[in-house]
Amino acid sequence: MDKAKRKAIIAGNWKMNKTPKEATALLNEITPLVKDADCEVIACVPYVDLAAAIEATAGTNVKIGAENCHWAASGAFTGEISTGMLKEIGVEYVVLGHSERRQYFGETDETVNKRTKAALAAGLKPIVCVGELLWERECDITEEVIARQIKLDLWDVSEDELKNVVIAYEPVWAIGTGKTATADQAEEVCAFIRAQLAKLYNQDAADAVTIQYGGSMNDGNADELLSKTNVDGGLIGGASLVAEKFAAIVKAASK
């Protein structure tokens, strides 16, 4: 199956930026700029911005995602948000296993897997993030790290459920550092991820999965990264907070 048959997806990951009012203002800037996009456009925003973001994007082609979710339906998990809470207000996507969650908040492949399964069961589409640290790349174990993450994060996810999973390859050394992986480096790992999916499922199932690249993707490098066969989209941090830059990346994905 060729790239054209996969859904190109550009998702903004706003991280801990923008108040609800600021979120509305930014989305009001973004929506007219991306209205003719020939790809899926998503903004993943902080929990308290979700309601405002859903309102601001109603009737547009921009979809809204959360930046995490818990695996339990409810209970004594102070500070956590359930999939049911997200679903009820109209959230469609959820970023899971972002390297910042793994690095700063003790996220493990086991908890990423639990969150992924809960999100899928609730009808949310998870954007599951994987990626190697700089020293792992330097020690030449990128493939081992990625293979392990893919296998563990997607453990017990059925082939049918996989249709609703997006994978984001985000080399940790490229996130927020201004250091982008070269297009060839991104392609190499995204192709490796697809090969792992083919091993775990089958080639057809693997060919249908959207694999994004993330890590300092911007309006200047998006064209080249997105031209690669196995790079089907982007998960954009910094550049997603500037409407014109985000729209330029969406345009690059729409070609």
Positions that interact with ligand PGA (CB under 6 A): 13, 170, 175-176, 214-217, 235-239
- The catalytic residue among 98, 107, 132, 187 is 98
In the chain, the DSSP E strands lie at 9-13, 40-44, 62-66, 93-96, 125-130, 166-169, 211-214, 233-236
| Residue closer to ligand PGA, measured from CB, 54 or 127 | 127
DSSP 237: S
Closest-CB residue for ligand PGA? 237
| Residue closer to ligand PGA, measured from CB, 84 or 220 | 220
| Per-residue exposure over 150-172, b if at least 16 CB sit within 10 Å of its own CB, e if not | beebbeebeeebbebbbbbbbbb
- The catalytic residue among 67, 100, 132, 170 is 170
| Residue closer to ligand PGA, measured from CB, 16 or 76 | 16
Distance CA 161, CA 156 (A): 10
Least Cβ distance, residue 44 to ligand PGA (angstroms): 9
| Residue closer to ligand PGA, measured from CB, 54 or 239 | 239
Instruction: Determine which helix (DSSP H) or strand (DSSP E) holds 23, and give its type and residue range.
Output: helix 20-33
Least Cβ distance, residue 208 to ligand PGA (angstroms): 23
Distance CA 130, CA 113 (A): 12
Least Cβ distance, residue 241 to ligand PGA (angstroms): 9
Least Cβ distance, residue 20 to ligand PGA (angstroms): 21
Q: Is 70 known to be catalytic?
A: no
Q: Is 98 known to be catalytic?
A: yes
C-alpha triplet 223, 214, 148: angle, nearest 5°:
130
Mapped onto helix, strand or coil, the DSSP state of residue 9 is strand
- Residues involved in catalysis: 98, 170
